[in-house]
Structure 1
Amino acid sequence: MASADDDALIWTRPEPGTRRPKFTREQIASTALAIADAEGFAAVSMRRVAGELGAGTMTLYYYVRTKDELVALMDNALMGEVLIPEDEFPSHWYDALSAIALRTWDILTRHPWALHSLQNAPVGPNNLRHFEQALASLAGTDLDAPDKFLLINLVDDFVHGNALRSAEVREAGEPAADGSPVDAALRFGQTQIATGRFPHTQALFGDGDPREAWGRVVGPLSERDRFRVGLSALLHGAASRWKLALPDA
């Protein structure tokens, strides 16, 4: 039986049913995502989205009741990008989990602001479809429910953690203005290394600017390729732990 509170969720309400609705939820979400990608999540507001759509703010409230509902639409739209088309879904558990993880990583690194700003968004239809695909990837294994859930969460944690770290590294690699937090952190790090109390760190980075040594430290692999190596190590470890068959070489 439906709860009286269900109407509070935008997914439980049909879109406004005029004969010719001016806007769709997809249009609204796409507009909000474009603003966040260009200017950051803080630039997203009901007024701003309405302006980009050429509508009055009160008109937008006819389609989306609150800023929280707008955030829910944005998150659901991003999760729609993560979904793998059915005709492309791999049959082997390893290939399927790899495809889901890599596609999720690609989307998160394309929209890095979402790592923080959308983490508390309510679960939408595409979140459920994403979880369904993760379960489908393990349907052919002998894993029980707790182990399936554990493996899916291990992969999910690795994806989000790696995407977050990649975003931080890219930010740190940008030119740091004098007096900025990044500049202050770099100067502090160099000062501490110079004390001699961090010999392993000093051996890794040397005595110069850590950013100049970064390319040597991380090696020639791209961020995406480093992610793939880590994901492969994780899934091979899972295969060893749970006696799961790996795909033919």
Structure 2
Amino acid sequence: MVEDYSYHSNKVRRHVKRDYFNKSYNNPYFERQTESKPKFNTKLYVRILLIVFLIYLILYSDLFKIKIIEVQGTDMINPEEIQALAKEKMSGRIWLVFPRSNLLFFKKSNLEKEINGKYLLDKLEIEKGWRRVTIRVEEKAAYLIYNNLKAQYFLDSTGAITKEMSADDISKYSQKFPTAYVMQDVVVGDKPVSARFVNFILELNKALDTAGVKVKNYESGGVDQVNVVSPDGWRAYFSLNISMSQSIENLTAILSQKLKGKKFEYIDLRNGDKVYYK
């Protein structure tokens, strides 16, 4: 501070010397923003780990994986065939992410469609349980074997194809059921022959067995006609519209009399009492 004793005034004037170089210009109304270091968010980290763990637990662990496929009610169908179909439908992933073998993503409708496409059943039920799938079936009874020289199938009483026969089926049942050769391509569910055709062959097979006539197989000879093929190679032509008992009587008579010990090609029994042979 400097005192001034100037002559202009008797008063002492004081001059304050200001320092403009060491002044502080902080605004008292605004606090300085200090840079804060990022803090580790423990809660967020735990939540992410929990979500990842739940995804693994649900999708990829064995907790929801189908381990057991049980098939019940089969008779002529090999249960391993149905199990193989189920395993095939459970293989792979949906959208390359969700495993089909996971109980939460397994669709019963897809397996039902696959099974019904291969077998004609009276009943099919699929039940999901804890890490298991139970498949219950009721088969249609088989009565004939249908052979079209490409494959062999089981026929039910209505003439419908119930199942394509496997090699194991052929070895087991080829001697148990009569075989009918019909040159027509079929798939499971088709009805290439009528119920009348099936019933006629079943009754004819019993009647010929009772009469002591050996049969190799049967053929469809056209509309309302069934051909019997003997182990010796000759054929007997039957009509569905002619009395079976009359036809059997005519057949046994001609075999025991006119054609006994002879070779012949066929016997035509489609005209009642008029029997033709060659």
Mark yes or no: TM-score above 0.5: no
Q: Which has the higher contact order (CA 8 A, sep 6+)?
A: 1
TM-score (norm 1): 0.21
**Higher helix fraction (1 or 2):** 1
Q: Which has the larger radius of gyration?
A: 2
TM-score, normalised with respect to structure 2: 0.20
Q: Which structure carries more strand by proportion? A: 2
